[in-house]
A and B are shown apart, each in its own frame.
Chain A
Amino acid sequence: MTRIFKIALRNLLRYKRRTLLTSLLITLGIVLVILFSGLAGSFKTMMIGQITDSNLSQMQIHKKGYVSSIDTMPLNLTLDTKRYKKIEQLLSSHSEISAWAPRIKLNAMLSNFTDTTNIRLNAISPEKEVLVCPDVGSRMTFAKNRDPGVLLNPGEVIIPEKLAKGMKLKIGDPIVLVANNKDGSVNGLNFTIAGIIESILGPQGKEGYMHIKDAQELLRMDKPEIIEVAIRLHDFDKLDNVYAAVSSKLAGVINKKGMPEFEIHTWDKLSPFSNIAKMIDFMTITMKIIMIAIVLISILNVMMMSVYERVREIGTMSAIGTSPGRIMSLFLAEGLLLGLISTIVGNVIGLSGIFLLNIYKISFAFGRQDNLLLAPSVNITELLWVSCIVLFISVFASLQPAYKASRMEPVDALGHV
C-alpha cells in the first residue's frame, strides 16, 4: 500500500503545474468554507447569546395560547400561584435546567408630565432574572453611585435608550406609568428612572424593565399572577433534548376541559433572528456544496486527463500482470492524495485565518447595534466533517477514471498513440 501511495505521489508531482493549480482550487474552497463557517457561526452564536442571555432567555413557558394570541401582550392568559408552583416543581426535577424566573409582560403609557408615549415593559424578579439572563445588566446604564449588584428596586423602571432620548428623560427623573388591567380598568403609579437600556435585535429588544411586584400592583392583581416563566439550561447545546423532555411533561398537565394547560417554546420560536440564523445555516451549507462541486469537478478533470495521458503506461502495467484492482487503486490513491494534500493545506491556512481574525477582530454594525466584534471560532467536529467530505469526494471523483483505467485492454492500450 505504501508503494501505491509513493507511485501516486510521484505521478502527481510529474505534472507539477496541473497538480498545483488543482490543489490550490480545492484549498481555496476549504479555506473559504472554514472562514465562512467560522465567521457566520461566530456571528450566529454571538447574536443568539445576546438574545437569550440578555433578554429573551433560552426557553419560555406560558399559558396555552399566549404566543399565538392576536393581542401582542395579552393579560388574560396569566399563570396563578398554584400553576407557577406546578411549573417550578416540574422544572426543579430536571437536572439540565439551571434557573428559571417569572415575568409579566405588559404595555403601558409612560408620561414625563409633559408628553406621553407607549412602552412595552418586562416586569421581572431581579434576583431570579439575572440567573436566567446573566447579561441583562450589561445593556443597562445606571447612575454612577448606584450599587452595581442591584439591578432593579421596587418603584424603579429602566427605559429603552430611544424612548429616553425621544422623551428627554434621564436617570433619576420621575415618570408616571398608566396601564389597563385585564378587566379594562386603568391604574397609574409614579416611578423613578433607575437606568437606560440599549436596544437589541427583535421586538423584545426594545422593552423597558420594572419590578414584578410593581407590575402586579399597577395591574391591580388581587393575587400574584405571572405571564411567563423564562428558563436557562446548564448547557445550551442540550436545548432540543431538554425542550422535548419538559414539553412532554407539560403536555401531561391538562385543564378542566381536558386541554393542555401550558405551552413551551424555545428561543428560536420567539425571536425573528431565528430566520436569520436559518439563513446563515443555509448559506453555510451552500458554501459546502460549492466546495464539494469544486473538489468533484477539479479531481474528476485531473484524473481523466491523467488516465488519458497515460494510456500506454496503463497498458504496460496491465501487460506485465498488474491486476485491474491494483491499477484502479493506483489512480484512486492519486485522487485521495490530491484531496489529502489540499485538505491539510486548506486546514492550515483556514485555521491561521481564524487565528488572525481573532487577533485583529472584525467590527461590524448589525441593525441598530454598532461595533459588534466578531471572534470566529472553529468547531473541530465541523472541521473533521469538511475534511472527510473532501477526502470522500476526492475518492468518489477518481472512481470513474480509475475504473476506466482498470478496464483497458492491454493490447489496445499499448497500441495507443
Chain B
Amino acid sequence: MPLVQIENVSKIYQTGEVEVKALSDINLSIEKSAFVSFVGPSGSGKTTMLNMIGCLDMPTWGKILVDGKQVDSFNRQKRAAFRGDVIGFIFQSFNLFPVLTAYENIEYPLVMIKNEPQEKRKEMILTVLDSVGMLNQKDKFPDQLSGGQKQRIAVARALITQPKLVMADEPTANLDKTSSINVIRLMREMKDKLGTTFIFSTHDPRIMEEAEITHTLVDGKLS
C-alpha cells in the first residue's frame, strides 16, 4: 500500500472574481521510503502539491490518502494532530524559532506535540544532532548559525518525531551550492538510515539529480 495516494485532486484558488486552477486532476502514488522530488517552473503548482500532501491545505476536489488515512476529510484539530504524528516539515526559510536554541528547536515538537519525558527527549535530541553533525552547535540560537547549519537543525527538527513522511518545499533555495548539496545528501542519508519518505520541491537541476523519483508539474498538471 503506498504511503501517499492522490486521486483526481484539483485545487482552485479564488482571487477576487478570478479563479486560479493550481492543480488539475492529479493522480499519483508515492511508496514508503521513497525520495521524491517535484520540479517545475514557478507557479506550476509544486508548493500547492506539497501543501496538499502535507495536510496544510485541502483539495477542492479529489481524495488524498496519507498513511492509509483520508486526510481531506479531517477538521483543523485532527489535521494538526495528524501532521504532528506522521509528517515532518522542512521550510525554504528554515523557520526555526528565534527565541529557542538549536537544541530547544529540535526539542519543541517533543515537548509541545508529543509530550515526551525529559530523559527520553535528551537522548533522542543528542542522537539526531549527532546524525546531522550539529552536536557542537546545540546551544546556539538560530541567528548564530549559518544558512546550511540552520537547515541541518530544521532537518533534525523534522526527523525528531520519527515521522513517516517529510515534506520539504524548496529546502535549498536559500543556500549556497555546497550547503545545498550537503543538505540534500543529509536528507538522503536520513532516508536510507530511518526509512523515512522524503518529498521535496526544487528548481535546482543538481538537486533534482539526487531524487530517486522526479515528478514534473506544468500548469498544475503532471507531465
Stretch binding the partner chain, chosen from A3-11, A25-33, A37-45: A3-11
Flag whether B76 is at the interface (Cβ < 8 A). Answer: yes
Stretch binding the partner chain, chosen from B50-58, B126-134, B171-179: B50-58
Is the beta-carbon distance between B95 and A312 smaller than 8 angstroms?
yes
Is the beta-carbon distance between B51 and A316 smaller than 8 angstroms?
no
A315 to B89, CA, bound (A): 12
Flag whether A14 is at the interface (Cβ < 8 A). Answer: yes
Is the beta-carbon distance between B157 and A321 smaller than 8 angstroms?
no
Is the beta-carbon distance between B99 and A320 smaller than 8 angstroms?
no
Most chain B CB within a 10 A radius of its CB, from A3, A7, A321, A409: A321
Task: Decide yes or no: A320 and B56 within 8 Å by CB, A10-B100, A313-B95, A411-B51 being known contacts.
Answer: no
Is the beta-carbon distance between A324 and B80 smaller than 8 angstroms?
yes
Residue of A nearest to B51 (CB): A411
Residue of A nearest to B87 (CB): A321
A326 to B114, CA, bound (A): 12
Task: Decide yes or no: A321 and B100 within 8 Å by CB, A410-B56, A411-B51 being known contacts.
Answer: no
A322 to B98, CA, bound (A): 17
Is the beta-carbon distance between B97 and A322 smaller than 8 angstroms?
no
Residue of B nearest to A12 (CB): B99
Give which listed residue, A7, A320, A409, contacts B89 with CB less than 8 A.
A320
Flag whether B103 is at the interface (Cβ < 8 A). Answer: no
Nearest-CB distance from B5 to chain A (Å)?
Answer: 21
Is the beta-carbon distance between A316 and B81 smaller than 8 angstroms?
no
A304 to B98, CA, bound (A): 19
Give which listed residue, A7, A315, A319, contacts B54 with CB less than 8 A.
A319
Residue of A nearest to B52 (CB): A411
Interface size on A, residues (CB 8 A): 23
Is the beta-carbon distance between A319 and B89 smaller than 8 angstroms?
yes
Flag whether A323 is at the interface (Cβ < 8 A). Answer: yes
Is the beta-carbon distance between B56 and A321 smaller than 8 angstroms?
no
Task: Decide yes or no: A411 and B95 within 8 Å by CB, A321-B81, A324-B77 being known contacts.
Answer: no
Flag whether B84 is at the interface (Cβ < 8 A). Answer: yes
Residue of B nearest to A330 (CB): B112
Is the beta-carbon distance between B109 and A320 smaller than 8 angstroms?
yes
Flag whether A287 is at the interface (Cβ < 8 A). Answer: no
Give which listed residue, A7, A10, A11, A316, contacts B95 with CB less than 8 A.
A316
**Chain A 8-27 residues near chain B, CB threshold 8 A:** 10-11, 13-14
Is the beta-carbon distance between A411 and B57 smaller than 8 angstroms?
yes
Is the beta-carbon distance between A322 and B99 smaller than 8 angstroms?
no
Which residues on the B side are within 8 Å of A52 (C-beta)? none
**Chain B 164-197 residues near chain A, CB threshold 8 A:** none
A414 to B91, CA, bound (A): 9
**Chain B 128-173 residues near chain A, CB threshold 8 A:** 157-158, 161
Task: Decide yes or no: A319 and B100 within 8 Å by CB, A324-B77, A410-B56 being known contacts.
Answer: no
**Chain A 308-341 residues near chain B, CB threshold 8 A:** 312-313, 315-324, 326
On A, residues with C-beta under 8 Å from B are: 3, 7, 10-11, 13-14, 312-313, 315-324, 326, 409-411, 414
Listed A/B pairs (7) with beta-carbon separation below 8 Å:
A7-B97, A7-B99, A14-B99, A316-B89, A321-B82, A321-B113, A414-B91
